[in-house]
Amino acid sequence: MLVYTYKPGLHHIHPIITPEQNIQIYRKCIEHNKQFHKVKLYTTAESVELFKDLVSDIEIIDNKLDTFFQDDLKFYVLSKEEGKYTLIDGDIILDRKLEYCNNNGVEFEKLIKNNPNDDYFLKMRNQLTYYNIQGTLKYWQNFDHTYNLGIIRINNNQFVKGFLTEYSKLKDFYKNNIELKNPKLRQSNVIEMATCTYFLSMYLTLNNIPIHTLEETNNFTHYSGYIEKLKFLKKYIKVKKPLI
């Protein structure tokens, strides 16, 4: 089962991509990918109308749910779902049904390492170390890699309770030590590369949870960033021409 999450204003979307276009991208990906897997959606009550013709299994979230970071809704799903399932971003097109290795752990979209275009996570992680995250989370380590959260396959959720407890500490640290001193940091940067993406990767590594990447054995395209989304719109979304 593929689990999608949607809340208006939650994601970092370049202004060149309108909210309406972002919804079109979401809808097209769900419509395409549901031919391979069952789908489920977590969204707000006012957003149900946007997807109810495509998704029959919808969980309504409270508008007051704390989504300080854009992955908070994904992590909320971790606390609710049981069994095996796959969290997926709304801008990924599958070429075929995803194949999993059933490693009793977590499978991610891809590994981010040694790529000049992926060094952004190091920049964001350095912000946390600059503000002394190690003083709050004594076990913090700076690895040279992270795993992307575009796709997260959960084969075993035994790590979830411990992870969410530690993630709550990280979020409190950020709010109380960084947000108060430098609120523009989160507004102008994708700080989630460190607070969400890297932290989950690091936590699983330190706790010896088996990790696998899906890009090695699967075919899919992640239209991440505004340039890729413009390509997506051109390829998949038909523009209605005005009648003359």
Compute the average pLDDT of residues 13-40. Answer: 94
Of residues 244 and 88, more confidently modeled: 88
Please state, as a whole number, how many other Cβ atoms lie within 10 Å of the Cβ of residue 149.
22
In sequence order, the 6+-apart residues with CB closer than 8 A to the CB of 139 are 206
pLDDT of residue 243 exceeding 50, the answer is no
What is residue 117's predicted lDDT score, i.e. its pLDDT? 66
Higher local confidence (pLDDT), 9 or 198:
198
- 212-236: average pLDDT: 94
Q: Which two tokens stand for residue 60?
A: 């309504």
Q: Distance of CA 214 to CAs 50, 66, 154, 171, 224, Å?
A: 29, 30, 12, 28, 17
pLDDT of amino acid 116? 64
Main-chain dihedrals φ then ψ at residue 111, nearest 5 degrees: -90, 135
Tell me what the mean pLDDT of segment 108-119 comes to. Answer: 82
- Taking 80 as the threshold, does the pLDDT of residue 231 lie above it? yes
pLDDT in tens, 157-179: 999 999 999 999 999 999 999 99
pLDDT, tens digit (0-9, with 9 covering 90-100), for 54-73: 999 999 999 889 999 999 99
